[in-house]
Each structure stands twice: as structure tokens, then as C-alpha cells.
Chains A and B, each alone.
Chain A
Amino acid sequence: MTPAIFPSRRAWRGLGLLLAACTLAVRLPAASPAPSADVEAGRKLFRDLCSNCHGHEGAGAMAPSLQRPRLTYAPDEATLRVVIADGIGGRGMPRVRRWSEKELRELVAYVQWLGAVPATPLPGDPAKGREVFNRVGCATCHVVNGQGGTLGPELTAIGRMRGPDYLREAIVNPGATLPKGTLPVPGRGYDEYLPVVAVTRAGKEIKGVRLNEDLMTIQIRDEQSQFHSLRKSELTRLDKLTGTSLMPNLSAQLAPGELDHLIAYLASLQGQP
């Protein structure tokens, strides 16, 4: 039989991102405590089965960075064990599979080691990043602390949920970083905010993001935040624009150094206290 389901991203894109993450890696073994045998064994397990979401060396990707001394859902060793063993219900963290006692010990050791390493300071300035955020109009589509538009995902706690490498990729190549189904809607493993184009029999074209889908129907929010419920048999065309995003590539609008500032600002968004 088979262990629990593990979320994943598009195979090659995922591997590509993993490689990209490796080259961008900011891990700093120089300042860290010497890894024990358990840490090394845990690192191997983590690389195979956890890094897809938590990023290379736990730097954060789709799932939060673990390079922090205090984890939101696993503030102490006992909770960390439970989280690794069973996942976190309703938060997208699955029970990856049943671990042996030894594997569980190794993973706990590795994640604790990640947390003990001082975080690398980011090169940008969050205050300047906030100005960039406002200037290029990010708030048109994104809510931060209750203010902003509704087309894209809320960013109030994005710094806690995503690592800096992921944030960088999301700004310069948004289509490559659509969040992968950690929510009940549209479901585990599915692209969230996937751009779609639907054309009805009457010839009406609807472009927006997929909210949900089943075999017979699709639910779309268009660029004006209007909701559309469509039955597939009533459509003449339904294109899923996989690998793209409604978010523009912002790099052309950024002066040198501004990308770092913007990342630093996003990384500073840790949610409302």
C-alpha cells in the first residue's frame, strides 16, 4: 500500500526550481554548529521529501522558511515531532509518510539545526522596498494588512510563508511560481491563480484565474474581480495557461537594487500580530 499523498509541482519546472534554488543557496555553514550524524541523515531525508516545498536547505519556497529559531506551528521539539510525523491539518503540510523512529529523530535534529543557524541578512532595505511596492502598484491586486486589491493572493504574512528565493522568482518570473494547491480549493497539487481563457457558445470571452474546477464545471474570477460559473459543455474553448500568471514581470520597472529592496519588504511582512 501507499503512504500519504505529498504535494508536488510540475515535474520539470519543480526540478528546475530546485536547481535554481541550489545555485542561489544562501546557507552559511561557516557560522553554524557542526552538523551531527543525525543532522546529516536528516538533511538527506529533507532534501528528498521536504525540500520540494520548504526549499533547498529549508530556505522556504512554497512552504515557509525553516531557517528561523521559532517555527509558527512547531515552537518546541515535542510539537516539531508531531508536525513532522502527522503534518498540519488545514495548512497544506501533509503527513509525508510514516517515518521510522530513527528518521523522525534525524528530521527533528536537522530542522532544529536549521533554526539554530543565524539567518542571513537580506541585502535590501524594507522601507525602500515598501516605496517600490507602492510605486509599481502591487496593491492593485494584493492585500497587505487589509488594504489592496483582490485579484492576487494576500501578502500580509508572505514573509513568513515564503523564502526570499521564491519571492525573487515570483517577481521576475511570476508564471513559474504559481502556488501549488495547499488549500482545500482548488485542491492539493493544483495551480492556484491559474490563468484561464474561456469562450462561451455565444462568443463571449472570459479571462481570469481559476478558482475551482471539476469534471463538468469551472469557476473563474476575471480581471475585474467578477465571478463566473461556467459549465464546460457550454464552452467552445477552455485554455489553461499553465506556466503563466496574470501578474506582470516587474523587473523592467525596477531600478538596480530595487528588486532587493522589494524582496526585503515582502520578507518583512510577517502577518498581523
Chain B
Amino acid sequence: MSTLRLLFLAVLAAVLPVSAQVTADRIRHADREPQNWLTYAGNYQSHRHSALTQINRQNVAGLKTAWVYQIRQPGIIETSPLVADGIMYLTEPPSTVTAIDVRSGRAIWSYTPTIPRDIIIIGSPQVNRGVALLDGLVYVGTVSGHLIALDAVNGTVRWDVTVEDNRKAYYLTLAPLALDGKIIVGVSGAEAGIRGFVDAYDAKTGRRLWRTFSVPGPGEPGNETWGGDSWKTGGGSTWLTGSYDPELNLLYWTTGNPGPDWNGDVRPGDNLYTCSVLALDPATGKLKWHFQFTPHDTHDWDATETVVLFDATINGRPRKLLTQTNRNAFYYVLDRVTGEFLSATQYAKQTWAQGIDAKGRPILVPGQDPTSDGKLAYPDVQGASNWPSPSYSPQTGLFYQAAREMGTIYFKGEAEYVPGRAFMGGGARILTGDDSYGAIRALEATTGKLKWEHKLLSAGWTSLLSTAGGLVFGGTEEGNFLALDAETGKLLWDTQLGGAVRGIPISFAVDGKQYVAISAGYALFVFGL
């Protein structure tokens, strides 16, 4: 063989990777390859729905464990794995990424970033919710406030940037979102008086392309909704992965509570854009429209819950919709082209609003704010929903969500801002145990009307996965993992995993066999027929 020919082959090998790369086009058309799970919620519309049908209503009772992967350091697993071309990318708490061969369950590489011992995490456990994949790289946010790009082949660091200073309590727990050439992330930290933002980074280099603050500064529209200088410590974390409409080219990102959490006196006004959804131009980060669910929140009811995108006809008119089971106990339906409010339906117990008016603004029940002596209100401080993923099935037209039925006694106190310190202005005592319960609920996606519910023992943290096999998978705090009939909620299969189910379920296939993956306790479990 000639030297020239050898050189040609070497170049070819370098250019063509062993397995196909995950391109933005593949993610955009994720529905065409249901054997893979290419982005956090399965598709850009955040359906967390699998089109696979091998495991279905008729045979799910025969589901068995295929393999189990144990994490190496105890911690809470709140992650959604991704699967691309036979490799699973799993995050382990606090910010480790492990690539696993899905045929055998054996790890093929693992990367753990250096996390300083004295990192500042205020407001959540040290968790991670997953990675993003794009063009041969794996992206992970860390609890130390970094965004890191790893080579998908062996976990080597390609770039590592600081999103924001962790000494001021900024940190990342969310799965990044990969768009064409860009990685989008948000931050946690509103319990420490941060000023939230959404960032876009060049996927190849890590250079920051834009930053859009969730709390507007002086001279910007919305700043007038903050009394005095309160915007500076206004919170509005952006801590869960957003959704994206490739046709409208609009990025939908959600925001958390204002700071301080429970004392609204020091931040008079609506406190835009906290507890909101923002529609952003992904090229520039420019705000196209916004909708605020809970103006001037005083209960820590972040609006960061996953927003789900689908199209349907409402009142005879075809609409592009955005829906959310908000932490404040209402299910919202918006027009995602304009942000127009269409409806809000209560889906869990609440005591704070008489209803939602025609513009989408809550009509408050007087006297539900936190007080010095404590005020019992519903839903609880962790919300009727929270970070766990809902699921939308195009097959049933139902929106599946695990509701949390719990109250909290809310206290108002003083808040003093010290960078990197708790800035909450009170406290909250949740009414757990036998006083509370949870329920997996199926809502008519266009109206929020309850179709069925499957009650759970406690208000937990389960995400849901629906499949075209007519199933909904979910778990419980007590370690049960369940398959329900997607049409009726009837229990079809269950098993006990020995630890609280807080992982986020996905489904994938390899060698023609479908699997369902879920984390519970300190392990990831993979089930197949």
C-alpha cells in the first residue's frame, strides 16, 4: 500500500468517527429515531414520550431487570440519561458523567470534575439532571458553576468555562440544551439573592454568545416592578432545562422565585421576570414575550417546571400551545407564538387564589402570605409540582404529571443580603408523612381537566414517561416503580427498587430490543422483556 493511500485512509478515519455523531438535525427530528434518547426530555418539545411499542399493555407484566449500574459515591440521582447509538450518558451526583455500554451495563469511561470542598449550594441537594450531546461532545453543568464539554469518545475535556462565580452561590444542576451550534444553560441560586440569567455558549469553543437576565436592570422594561434596588438580589433562577420550537425558532425558558423567598415587603411590585416563562430568540437571547404565572411570589413557587409544546385545536382554532403544571397548583395553557393566556385549571389543592382572571393573573385570596407567626397555605413550599418531568402523549392527548398534595406553614422573617449566604426572609414547615399524599394524574392536555389519577402514598419526586405501547412509567418515594395504563391509570406492573425513585425515566432500544431505564436510590435500573 502506498504512503499516500495510507495517509488518505488515516485522514478518512479521523474525519469519520466510529459511530455517527449527534447533530442538531438529529435532535430536531428525534422522533424519527425512537431507539435513541438524544436530549433531556426526549425531544425539543419536552414530551418525554417514547414511540417504541415493543413493551406494551399486553406484555408489560413480564418486564424484568436487564442490568443495574451502581453509582460510586452516594447521593441523590435526579438525572435523565441520554442514549445515542448504543451508548448511555448518565450523570452521577454531584457532577460526574459516565458513559455506559447499553448492551452490557458496563461503564466505558467516567469523568469527575474537580469540585472545591467549600462550594456554596443553597436551595437544593447537590444533584445533576443530565447532559446534552452535540457533534461529538458531551456537555455537563457542575455544582461549582462551570459548563464543561467532554469528548464523547473518551470523556476528555475539550473546554471548561465558568458560567458564574460560585462564591456568590451560582451553581448548575440542569441538563444543558443543545441547539444548532449553541449550548443553552441557566443557573440555580435564588435562595442566596443571585440575579438569574439564561446563557448561550458556542458549542465548539465555549465562548459566551449572549446572556439574558431574568431580572431586568435599570432602564430595561420590567425593572419598574422592583422597589428600590431590590432587583439586584431579585433571584429568578433559571434552573431547569427549557424547551424549543425549531419552526418558530423560539426558545422557552422558565424562571424561579424572587429573592428573598418569603418576605415580599422588601421587593414591592410584580418582580418581573421571576416565576415566568420567557420566549427568547436563540440567536440573540432577545426576549420575544413573557408570561408571569405568580406575580410577587411569597411562597417560593418557582415556575421552572418543564414547559411542554404541542399543537391542538382550541375553540375551533388550531393553536401552537405551551403548557405547564405550575408549582402554584394550576395547569396553564398559553399560545406559544404570542404568549397569550388561554386557560388555567387547578390540578391540586390550593388556598391562595380564588381563580385566574382572563389575562392569566391570579385573583388572590386575602391573607395567604407568610406571617411572623406562620400561615398554613397550600400547595407546599416545594410546590404541587417541581422539577420532575411530566410527559405528554400525542397518542392519548393527555398530560401526565405527579401532583404533590401537601401544605406548608409559611413564616415571614427578615433577610439580610450577604453574598454567598442564604437570603430567604423567613422559613417554611412542610406537613409531610401521613398528612400528605401524591398522585399520578392524567390531564386533558388542552384543558387541564382530570382524566384519571393513580394515588401515591406520599408526595414524592417522580418523573413520568409515556410510551406508544400505551403505558406510563413512574415511581414512588418508597421505591416502587410502576407501569400504568396510559388511558385509564390502571396498574399493570410494579416492582420494588429499594430506594426513592427520583431519577427521570427514559426508553431506548438496542439490537431490536426495547428497554426502560430509571434511577432509584444509588443505582440505575434497566428493564426489558
Interface residues of A (CB under 8 A from B): 1-11, 44-45, 48-49, 52, 96-103, 180-181, 187-191, 194, 213-217, 240, 242
Contacts and interface: CB of A to CB of B under 8 A. Distances in A.
6 contacts: A2-B124, A11-B407, A100-B421, A213-B457, A215-B457, A215-B478
How would you classify the secondary structure of chain B's contact residues: helix, strand, loop or mixed? loop
Contacts of B478: 187, 213-215
Given A1-B190, A49-B427, A98-B123, A189 B433 contact: yes
A2 B429 contact: no
B220 to A, nearest CB: 25
Interface stretch (B267-275, B312-320, B410-418): B410-418
Nearest to A217: B496
Given A98-B122, A100-B422, A215-B478, A191 B191 contact: no
A161 to B, nearest CB: 19
Contacts of A216: 480, 494, 496
Nearest to B427: A49
Contacts of B458: 187
A3 B424 contact: yes
A43 to B, nearest CB: 13
B434 A100 contact: no
Q: Please classify how large the interface on chain B is, using the bins under 10, 10 to 19, 20 to 34, 35 or more.
A: 35 or more
How would you classify the secondary structure of chain A's contact residues: helix, strand, loop or mixed? loop
B476 A215 contact: yes
A214 B456 CA distance: 9
Contacts of B422: 97-100, 103
Interface in B339-377: 372, 374, 376
A8 B225 CA distance: 36
Q: Kindly name the residue among A1, A3, A45, A100 whose own CB sees the greatest number of chain B CB atoms within 10 A.
A: A1
Given A1-B256, A3-B123, A8 B428 contact: no
Contacts of B424: 3, 97-98
B432 A8 contact: yes
A49 B376 contact: no
Nearest to B300: A2
Nearest to B456: A215
B199 interface: no
Nearest to A214: B478
B428 A5 contact: no
A160 to B, nearest CB: 24
A-B pairs, top 7 by smallest CB distance, nearest first, are A189-B433, A189-B432, A214-B478, A1-B123, A98-B422, A190-B433, A48-B411
A1 B482 CA distance: 27
A217 B376 CA distance: 32
B507 interface: no
Contacts of B383: 2
B302 interface: yes
A187 B433 contact: yes
Contacts of A101: 418, 421
A246 to B, nearest CB: 17
Given A2-B300, A98-B123, A11 B476 contact: no
A211 to B, nearest CB: 13
Contacts of A2: 123-124, 300, 381-383, 386, 428
B434 A188 contact: no
Given A191-B434, A194-B434, A6 B428 contact: yes
A97 B479 CA distance: 25
A215 B480 contact: yes
Given A2-B123, A49-B411, A181-B433, 15 more contacts: A1-B239, A1-B256, A3-B428, A11-B376, A44-B413, A48-B426, A97-B427, A101-B418, A101-B421, A213-B478, A214-B457, A214-B480, A215-B476, A215-B494, A242-B434
Given A1-B237, A2-B124, A215-B482, A8 B382 contact: no
B429 A49 contact: yes
Contacts of A1: 123-124, 188, 190-191, 237, 239, 256-257, 300, 302
